[in-house]
């Protein structure tokens, strides 16, 4: 029994932990003990001394205790694996302390309770995109310790990825290689690593040949911003060897800064092996009004549309066939189910035709006069829808304005020729101020029920008139006695988009007025709560934006 107490004594002279590992004998005393313990001492007697008065199991445990402490006390470090490469330095300034804390909170809230009813507390998750946008504006470096949470957030939300990855910077790209969960970062990173200078031809060429896909996309964009011709040369060099998926992405990246110089390259891509690549090339070409493709399309479309003999209305004669030349120019021959072949072809022709074509074709009229013309034989919806798509593709504000019409017009609120989704796209073509004014006018005339999609395309924060229109409409909805969750979509948008300066106007709405007699029971309480949350979120946003200001704590009006 003496053995037990001496164990602790024996651990005293542990071998100095020299880290070289010695080869072990075939069967150590410890392995002998483990085998006997596993099988039981009745079946296999271990090779231990059994002092008188002790059983074999106790003797085994004595010996095992000595061995265990000996093994632990003699612990040695392992041989180190190959050290990792260091992350490229991030030269951006660090976040102010308050902003760093705020980001940690925004990221922590992500997994918050998805409870059925929202209380009066703000929903922090929705503020993350805005926080990232402002942080990016100032060009801060991400705090490394928050990168894992940031990646986890971006992993679940693709819309966050570009911003999150730009913010994550070179350290983020370095980190993402270690965790398979964050593989997306290697594909979507907008130039996480430091790119070579666009005129450093040798390094550019090497990165283009050897870089990750994400690095190459970023490189292409950087070189293209510097010299579009050099970028096209890079693309041309490796084009046939790229995977179809990558060709599509590279082609898509030409959208930024598209110019007539790209035409030759795009024309060649019209004969690509991949159908998606061909379609994208055609789409890009049609956005270049002076391209040969646009001219070919204009010729085809013009032969289908003409003024009637009285020259006061439009008549349409849709194409009778889709020939191979049309197909090569991106016209999809097979109509989706439920659509006539001819009107399907017609729509595609008009969509790809430069809008300037129509003034010449339709009696020298401007966009507004043309869209006001009657159209024979029910072709109006088809024709106008195609013009809408063309205005969006060619980013033609004059046509967009004409097709949108006045926001207060009665048909603007109803299912007119132009759907809400198309209107939202047309609005995006207008300058931000005009866009906000149009939507404000729409809400004043038609209320909020149809406005959700339109609000989504307005610039942040909502300009004064628009913000006021939304708050007034919410107030009217409350007075009408409906429940706030009928407007939860708009409420959610308002929390993210209203100018924090509107907070003071909301204060009066957060009080709980008397229940109106004809209102829904309990609605006023819920409305007060909803307005409280709205006001709370706006205040939080103002504070959040102030925290990011490197000049200090003075709240600034967001740009």
Partner 1 sequence: MLGPNVADMTQQGVRWAADQVLALAPDAASRKAGSKLGAAGPWSETGYSTTEGAVWGLCKGSGSTPYRTVVDTTGPAYQCGCPSRKFPCKHALGLLLLWAGPDGADGTVPESEPPEWAERWLAGRRERAKQPEAPSSVQRKGSDPEAVRRRAERRAERATAGTTELEQRLTDLLRGGLAGAEQAGYGLWEETARRMVDAQVPGLAARVQELGAVPASGPGWPVRLLEECALLHLLDQAWLHRERLPEPLAATVRTRLGLPTTADGPPIRDRWLVLAQHDAVDPKLTTRRIWLYGAESDRTALLLSFGAAGRAPELALPVGLALDAELSAYPGGRQLRAALGERFAEPEPTPLRPAGLSAAEATAAYGTALRDDPWLDTWPVTLRDVIPVQAASGAGPGTSTSTSGWQLADADGRFALPLSAAAVARPGLWKLAAISGGAPVTVFGECGHGGFTPLTAWPDQPGAEPIPLS
The candidate with the shortest Cα–Cα distance to 387, out of 362, 407, 364, 412, is 362
User: Of these, 27, 28, 51, 71, which contacts partner 1 (CB under 8 A)?
Assistant: 71
Q: How far is the CB of 494 from partner 1 (least distance, A)?
A: 16
Name 219's Cβ contacts closer than 8 Å, sequence gap at least 6: 191, 195, 196, 204, 207, 208, 211, 234
Smallest distance, Å, CB 36 to partner 1? 8
Q: Is 179 in the site for partner 1 (CB under 8 A)?
A: yes
Nearest approach in angstroms of CB 559 to partner 1 is: 21
* DSSP string across 84-111: PPPPPP--SPBPPHHHHHHHHHHHHGGG
**CA quadruple 92, 94, 96, 98: dihedral, nearest 10:** 120
**Distance between CA atoms of residues 495 and 123, nearest Å:** 9
Whether 137 contacts 559, CB under 8 Å: yes
Instruction: State the Cα angle at 227 between 223 and 232, rounded to 5°.
Output: 75
Instruction: Report d(CA 391, CA 357) in Å as an integer.
Output: 13
**92, 187, 380, 539: which one binds partner 1 (CB under 8 A):** 539
CB of 291 to partner 1, least distance (A): 47
Mask for 113-152, x = binds partner 1 (CB under 8 A): x-----xxxx-x-------------------xx-xxx---
Asked if residue 34 binds partner 1 (CB under 8 A), the reply is: yes
Closer Cβ to partner 1, 250 or 531, answer by number:
531
Shortest CB 115 distance to partner 1, Å: 11
Shortest CB 451 distance to partner 1, Å: 26
In the bound complex, what is the minimum distance in angstroms from residue 287's beta carbon to partner 1? 41
Residue 5 as a binder of partner 1 (CB under 8 A): the answer is yes
Using the rule CB under 8 A, is 521 a contact of partner 1?
no
- The single residue among 323, 504, 553, 557 that binds partner 1, judged by CB under 8 A, is 553
Q: Determine contact, residues 177/186, Cβ cutoff 8 Å.
A: yes
Does 449 participate in binding partner 1 (rule CB under 8 A)? no
CA distance 514 to 488: 22
Least spacing, CB of residue 13 vs partner 1, in Å: 9
Say whether 353 sits in a helix, a strand or coil. coil
Least separation in angstroms between residue 112's CB and partner 1 is: 6
Q: Which range, of 79-87, 234-242, 308-316, 437-445, touches partner 1 by CB under 8 A?
A: 79-87
Per CB under 8 A, does 68 bind partner 1?
A: yes
Which CB atom, from 108 or from 369, has the smaller least distance to partner 1? Answer: 108
Which residues, 314 to 373, sit near partner 1 by CB under 8 A? none
Q: Which tokens in the block code for residue 296?
A: 């070919």
Which residues does 50 contact at the CB level (< 8 Å), separation at least 6?
Answer: 56, 59
Q: In the set 72, 203, 268, 556, which binds partner 1 (CB under 8 A)?
A: 72
d(C-alpha 541, C-alpha 502), whole Å: 12
Is 535 a binding residue for partner 1 by CB under 8 A? The answer is yes
Looking up tokens 């909803």 gives: 530
Q: Which is nearer to partner 1, 152 or 252 (CB)?
A: 152
Handedness of CA 154, 244, 264, 271 (dihedral sign): negative
Q: 7 or 328: whose CB is closer to partner 1? A: 7
Selected binder of partner 1 within 26, 43, 338, 364 (CB under 8 A) = 43
CB 405 within 8 Å of CB 422: no
- With binding defined as CB under 8 A, does residue 516 bind partner 1? no
Q: Is 7 in the site for partner 1 (CB under 8 A)?
A: yes
Q: What are phi and psi of 165, to 5 degrees?
A: -75, -35
Quick one: which of 489, 485, 535 has its CA closest to 510?
535
Stretch of 12-20, 270-278, 331-339, 347-355 lying at the interface with partner 1 (CB under 8 A): 12-20
Residue 12 within binding range of partner 1, rule CB under 8 A = yes
Minimum CB–partner distance for residue 266 and partner 1 (Å): 41
For residue 536, state whether it binds partner 1 (rule: CB under 8 A): yes
Which of 341, 359, 475, 543 contacts partner 1 by CB under 8 A?
543
Residue (37 or 356) nearer to partner 1, CB: 37
* C-beta closer to partner 1: residue 219 or 546: 546
Q: What is the distance between the alpha carbons of residues 195 and 71, in angstroms, rounded to a whole number?
A: 51
By C-beta, is 244 or 512 nearer to partner 1? 512
Q: For the segment 154-173, give every residue that binds partner 1 (CB under 8 A).
A: 171
Please tell me the distance from the alpha carbon of residue 235 to that of residue 241, in angstroms, as a whole number: 10
CB of 16 to partner 1, least distance (A): 7
Backbone angles phi, psi at 7, to 5 degrees: -55, -50
- Among 339, 343, 336, smallest CA distance to 322 is for 343
* CB nearer to partner 1: pick between 84 and 338: 84
**Can residue 67 be called a binding residue for partner 1 (CB under 8 A)?**
yes
Terminal-residue alpha carbon distance, the chain: 81
Confirm or reject binding of residue 556 to partner 1 (CB under 8 A). no
Confirm or reject binding of residue 256 to partner 1 (CB under 8 A). no
Length of the chain: 559
Contact call for residue 64 and partner 1 (CB under 8 A): yes
50 binds partner 1 (CB under 8 A): no
Contacts of 188 (CB under 8 A, 6+ apart): 161, 162, 165, 214
* 33 contributes a contact to partner 1 by CB under 8 A: yes
Angle of helix 97-108 versus helix 147-156 axis, rounded to 10? 40
Q: Which two tokens stand for residue 142?
A: 């991400």
């Amino acid at each position: 029994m003496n053995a037990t107490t001496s164990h602790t004594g024996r651990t005293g002279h542990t071998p100095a932990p020299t880290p070289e590992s010695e080869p072990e004998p075939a069967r150590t005393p410890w392995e002998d003990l483990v085998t006997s313990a596993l099988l039981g001492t009745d079946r296999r007697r271990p090779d231990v001394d059994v002092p008188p008065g002790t059983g074999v199991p106790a003797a085994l445990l004595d010996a095992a205790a000595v061995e265990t402490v000996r093994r632990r006390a003699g612990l040695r470090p392992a041989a180190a694996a190959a050290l990792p490469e260091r992350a490229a330095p991030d030269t951006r300034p660090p976040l102010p302390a308050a902003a760093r804390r705020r980001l940690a909170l925004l990221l922590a809230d992500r997994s918050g309770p998805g409870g059925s009813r929202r209380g009066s507390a703000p929903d922090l998750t929705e503020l993350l995109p805005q926080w990232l946008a402002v942080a990016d504006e100032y060009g801060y470096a991400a705090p490394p310790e928050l990168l894992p949470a940031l990646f986890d957030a971006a992993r679940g939300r693709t819309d966050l990825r570009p911003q999150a990855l730009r913010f994550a910077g070179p350290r983020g790209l370095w980190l993402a290689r270690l965790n398979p969960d964050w593989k997306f970062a290697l594909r979507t990173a907008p130039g996480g690593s430091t790119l070579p200078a666009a005129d450093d031809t040798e390094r550019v060429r090497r990165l283009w040949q050897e870089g990750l896909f994400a690095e190459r996309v970023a490189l292409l964009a950087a070189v293209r911003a510097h010299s579009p011709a050099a970028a096209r040369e890079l693309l041309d060099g490796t084009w046939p060897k790229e995977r179809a998926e990558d060709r599509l992405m590279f082609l898509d990246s030409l959208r930024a800064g598209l110019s007539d110089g790209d035409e030759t390259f795009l024309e060649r891509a019209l004969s690509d092996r991949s159908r998606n690549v061909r379609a994208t090339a055609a789409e890009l070409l049609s956005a270049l009004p002076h391209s040969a493709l646009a001219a070919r399309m204009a010729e085809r479309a013009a032969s289908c549309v003409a003024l009637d003999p009285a020259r006061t209305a439009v008549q349409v004669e849709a194409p009778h066939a889709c020939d191979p030349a049309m197909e090569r120019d991106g016209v999809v021959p097979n109509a989706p189910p439920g659509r006539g072949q001819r009107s399907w072809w017609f729509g595609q022709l008009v969509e790809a035709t430069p809008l300037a074509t129509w003034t010449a074709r339709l009696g020298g009229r401007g966009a507004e006069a043309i869209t006001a013309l009657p159209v024979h034989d029910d072709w109006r919806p088809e024709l106008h829808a195609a013009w809408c798509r063309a205005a969006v593709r060619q980013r033609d504000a004059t046509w967009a304005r004409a097709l949108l019409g006045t926001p207060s017009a009665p048909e603007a609120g109803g299912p007119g020729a132009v759907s809400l989704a198309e209107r939202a796209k047309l609005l995006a073509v207008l300058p931000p101020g005009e866009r906000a004014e149009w939507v404000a006018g729409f809400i004043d005339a038609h209320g909020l029920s149809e406005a959700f999609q339109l609000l989504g395309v307005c610039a942040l924060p909502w300009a004064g008139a628009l913000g006021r229109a939304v708050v007034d409409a919410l107030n009217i909805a409350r007075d009408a006695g409906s429940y706030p969750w009928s407007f939860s979509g708009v409420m959610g948008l308002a929390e993210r988009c209203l100018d924090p300066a509107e907070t003071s106007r909301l204060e009066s709405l957060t009080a709980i007025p008397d229940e109106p007699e004809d209102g829904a029971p309990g609605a006023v309480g819920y409305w007060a709560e909803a307005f409280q949350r709205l006001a709370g979120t706006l205040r939080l946003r103002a504070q959040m934006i102030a925290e990011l200001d490197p000049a200090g704590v003075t709240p600034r009006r967001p740009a």
